[in-house]
Structure 1
Amino acid sequence: MGRWVHTWTSAPQLTEPENLPPAPYAGRGPVMARSTLRQTVRVSIGGERLRLRFSNAFGGTPLPLTRVTVALPAGGRAGESAVVPESIRAATFHGRPSAVVPAGAQVVSDPVDLPLAAGAVLTVSLHLADGRAPEDVTSHPGSRTTSHLAGGDQTGSADLAGATPVEHWYFLSGVEAEAPAPLLALLGDSLTDGRGSTTDHNDRWPDQLFDRLGGFAIANQAAGGNRVLNDGLGPSALARLDRDVLALGGVRWLIVFEGVNDLGTADVDAQESVAADLVAAYEQIVVRAHAHDILVYGATLTPLGGHPYDDSRGRREAARQAVNAWIRTGDVFDAVIDFDRAVRDPAHPRRLLRACDAGDHLHLSPAGYRTLAHAVPASLLA
């Protein structure tokens, strides 16, 4: 028997009003009450059994899970609302079909017998009955994956009648597989969360890294808009490190690729100070991760030239260069992954290569994310 390792994760965030489910699922009364939420996720490593984690990290009241099932999606496709009927399995909690997740807590299901291949897509359906759901919903808005909402309890149905699509994940924060694989955790922002990637195609750079190398589990704990130093869209990286990385069992490596939002949202005249605070924060992350015997790899910050973050005096670009110089030469990280060098335009180093640019001059296209995936030396994950 292997040990339990996270084969898929999403960093919990407080759902902003614009990311709540559409009407009638977020109208008057409890959010998603008396409805079925069906979500698909792509796992990294496979296994014969799995466990689910549901988070109520930001809920002010308990979260009632009335019924939960897992299945394989029709055609094996992400974002698909239909499932293979004979693959449907009920998830239990201490042998019971339902569970209540306390405010601020998470719950782990009992093991479910459902063999999953490496890189397979899993469907998770949950039903919230009349129990009062939290007013504040815990989710992961940047799913880049289509979920579906439908009325009533359809968790055991192969097809969802009257389904409404929504591109967010709600409540589901982790899938574990019983396997002897090492775990790679990723701490990042929208560039690791996959903004600019293709909805339902799983072509973020972590997905493409797994496709390239395989053999290990990946916990993508990135959050769009996240910052290292200060809270913004979700708690800062410093604040969420324990929950999102150190609390995961069996982490062998951590890649830190975050900081551009700290520079981009800080005052132009404060860039030198922010850069100094960033490198001090990186050192704190390394110290805290080393206490758990985790190797920490630092990734250089990629170009922002032409994006609204860029300023006419070049202060933010100078700060980015200073941070990258420290990452490359500071001798604090166990290794350096030079994402900047991989995707910058040699003729205009403060800008992304055109083929890598998603169009806003900050986020990457699927081709750009492929370039990042290939910039990670295989030896670091051996």
Structure 2
Amino acid sequence: MRLAIRHIPVASVAVVTTVALALTSAPATAGQPPGGGGAWSAAWGAAHQYPGVPEGWPPNWSSGGFADESVRQVLRVSSGGSRVRVRLSNRYGVKPLVVTAATVGRAGEGAAVRPGTVRALRFQGSGGLTVPAGRDAVSDMLVLPVRPLERLTVTLHFAPGGTGPLSYHSEGLATSYRAAGDRTGDTSGQPFAGGTSDAYYTLSGVEVAGPRTDGTVVAFGDSITDGAGSTPGADNRYPDQLAERLRAARSRLAVVNAGISGNRLLSDSSCFGEKGTVRFRHDVLDRPGVRAAVVLIGINDIGAGGEPDTGCGPAPRVTARDIINGHRTLIRMARERGVWIVGATLTPFKGAPYGYDTGAKQELRQEVNDWIRTSGAYDAVADLDRTLRDPAAPDRLLPAYDSGDRIHPNDAGMDAMARTVRPHLTAGSR
């Protein structure tokens, strides 16, 4: 969901290697809380979507792409390890994506990288790669000890021929930078004066291996999971704060955010990504080391359902049964992989814009929530509706948790969500 945006048309090339999708998922035992270890675990991730539609909205670089440019992107890993690899996506690109060089290092201030920490990434032994359209790729293993909650910088150089429109994540709530030429080895941020963006491009995952992690929890949803309403650049999205709380509880589970602003469970959108019942497989279940998923999705299906199409694709009117059947699909997919799945109740939205707040839609939300709470279909239930609502007006966010748009929680609300979810993920907590 991304209601806060709006609901309207919303040098020479190195030798390259074509890299196919490589996955090393090691699911947990079905019906048990997550635990145990795996060779690789996703420590950070971003769910990707179609290049910006309409072009340039929201403001980003995905439609124009890059040609003989370097893009520097900063992220915070949720768990540590002694080895690292980086995942790139061309899932929604329109042609083969040529990356001529890539590096990873410890983040400094802004676009700077800490001196002495830059390491070249390789792909099947080569310094560059070509990722076919519709595919993902993963780098070779790199020996690089990283600490839980450490900030890393990944820099990619794209070939002079141009990428064309490329796969991206629209609401990164982190600053990305661009520079002309190959600047993958630079530690200074000075060359990256080509502008900034709040999105992630091509970069879709950082994975770690070693004794410091017991696998990964993936938070799946829309803009509330994506972090809309939290402070940009502060890592205060609810999955970020969940990672901090798990760490404080001495859990070694990593957390990956697979939220997409505006995303719907049951219908695709050119602006807001593939429907949840489709992307759940590659954004959640195909992550290496996935042990658990937390599902918070359906508000956009309800709120946007039946409203006029303003350029992002129609949102059909839905019933509670439609939403419930969509949730059952996710549960079935998770069970087939042996992944522990937590259902989160849909949060209040009274006063939200874009036609979301009507009596019928509020009743529909409550009907879905009643099913999530009482059906027993999920392995566990995180009652985020109860956590975030105003006791004096249960259809409304508690003012102390409201970012100001009546639907997206602020930093305090995100922390309250993390507090609610955490007990359902720690082995032995139930």
Please classify the TM superposition score into its range, dividing by the shorter chain length.
Answer: over 0.9
> What are structure 2's unaligned runs of at least 5 residues?
1-36, 308-314
Partner of 1:81: 111
Alignment check: 8 A CA contact 1:185 1:245 kept: yes
Partner of 2:240: 207
Partner of 2:198: 167
Alpha-carbon offset, residue 19 of structure 1: 4.8
| Alignment partner of 1:128 is 2:158 | yes
Q: Distance in 2 between matches of 1:257 and 1:313?
A: 20
**Deviations for 1:27-67, whole angstroms, at most 9, x for unmatched residues?**
6xxx2111110000110111111000100001121000010
- 2:363 is aligned, of 318, 323, 328, to 318
Matches within 5 A, 1:290-329: 290-308=335-353, 314-329=359-374
Alpha-carbon offset, residue 136 of structure 1: 2.5
Partner of 2:207: 176
Alignment check: 8 A CA contact 2:216 2:289 kept: yes
Q: Distance in 2 between matches of 1:312 and 1:169?
A: 31
1:271–1:357 CA distance, 2 compared to 1 (3 A): farther
Q: Which amino acid is 1:166 matched to?
A: S
- 2:74 is aligned, of 23, 36, 40, to 40
1:312–1:301 CA distance, 2 compared to 1 (3 A): closer
1:169–1:308 CA distance, 2 compared to 1 (3 A): same
Alignment check: 8 A CA contact 1:44 1:120 kept: yes
Q: Distance in 1 between matches of 2:204 and 2:275?
A: 18
Give the TM-score, by structure 1 length: 0.93
- 1:369 is aligned, of 402, 414, 428, to 414
Alpha-carbon offset, residue 274 of structure 1: 2.2
Partner of 1:185: 218
**Deviations for 1:297-329, whole angstroms, at most 9, x for unmatched residues?**
100000010012556750110001111011001
1:154–1:313 CA distance, 2 compared to 1 (3 A): closer
Which secondary structure state, in structure 1, belongs to the residue aligned with residue 334 of structure 2?
Answer: helix
Q: Distance in 2 between matches of 1:339 and 1:38?
A: 35
- 2:284 is aligned, of 235, 241, 245, to 245
Which secondary structure state, in structure 1, belongs to the residue aligned with residue 40 of structure 2?
Answer: strand
**Deviations for 1:172-202, whole angstroms, at most 9, x for unmatched residues?**
0010001342211121000000001111110
Q: Larger helix proportion, structure 1 or 2? A: 1
Alpha-carbon offset, residue 362 of structure 1: 0.5
Q: Which amino acid is 1:167 matched to?
A: D
Partner of 1:263: 302
1:94–1:337 CA distance, 2 compared to 1 (3 A): same
Alpha-carbon offset, residue 2 of structure 1: 6.0
Alpha-carbon offset, residue 74 of structure 1: 1.4
Alpha-carbon offset, residue 271 of structure 1: 9.9
Q: Which amino acid is 1:93 matched to?
A: F
Alpha-carbon offset, residue 337 of structure 1: 0.3
Which secondary structure state, in structure 2, belongs to the residue aligned with residue 372 of structure 1?
Answer: helix
Alignment check: 8 A CA contact 2:382 2:424 kept: no
Partner of 1:91: 121
| Alignment partner of 1:140 is 2:169 | yes
Alpha-carbon offset, residue 267 of structure 1: 2.5
Question: How many percent identity over aligned positions?
Answer: 40
Alignment check: 8 A CA contact 1:69 1:90 kept: yes
Give the TM-score, by structure 2 length: 0.83
Partner of 1:68: 102
Q: Which amino acid is 2:259 matched to?
A: A
Alignment check: 8 A CA contact 2:303 2:356 kept: no
Alignment check: 8 A CA contact 2:69 2:178 kept: yes
**Deviations for 1:251-293, whole angstroms, at most 9, x for unmatched residues?**
211111011000011138x999521100111111111110111
| Alignment partner of 1:6 is 2:42 | yes
1:345–1:171 CA distance, 2 compared to 1 (3 A): same
| Alignment partner of 1:254 is 2:300 | no
Q: Larger strand proportion, structure 1 or 2? A: 1
Which secondary structure state, in structure 1, belongs to the residue aligned with residue 425 of structure 2?
Answer: helix
1:14–1:41 CA distance, 2 compared to 1 (3 A): same
Matches within 5 A, 1:220-239: 220-232=257-269, 233-239=272-278
1:12–1:273 CA distance, 2 compared to 1 (3 A): closer
Q: Which amino acid is 2:394 matched to?
A: P
1:111–1:271 CA distance, 2 compared to 1 (3 A): closer
Alignment check: 8 A CA contact 2:42 2:290 kept: no
Q: Distance in 1 between matches of 2:397 and 2:107?
A: 37
Q: Distance in 2 between matches of 1:311 and 1:260?
A: 9
Q: Distance in 1 between matches of 2:100 and 2:200?
A: 18
1:85–1:237 CA distance, 2 compared to 1 (3 A): same
1:231–1:303 CA distance, 2 compared to 1 (3 A): same
Matches within 5 A, 1:317-356: 317-356=362-401
Q: Which amino acid is 1:253 matched to?
A: A
Higher deviation after alignment, 141-150 or 14-23: 14-23
1:8–1:313 CA distance, 2 compared to 1 (3 A): closer
Q: Distance in 1 between matches of 2:80 and 2:233?
A: 20
Q: Distance in 2 between matches of 1:251 and 1:81?
A: 31
Alpha-carbon offset, residue 125 of structure 1: 0.4
| Alignment partner of 1:155 is 2:165 | no
Select the structure with the greater relative contact order (CA < 8 A; seq sep ≥ 6): 2
- 2:255 is aligned, of 204, 215, 218, to 218
1:206–1:311 CA distance, 2 compared to 1 (3 A): closer
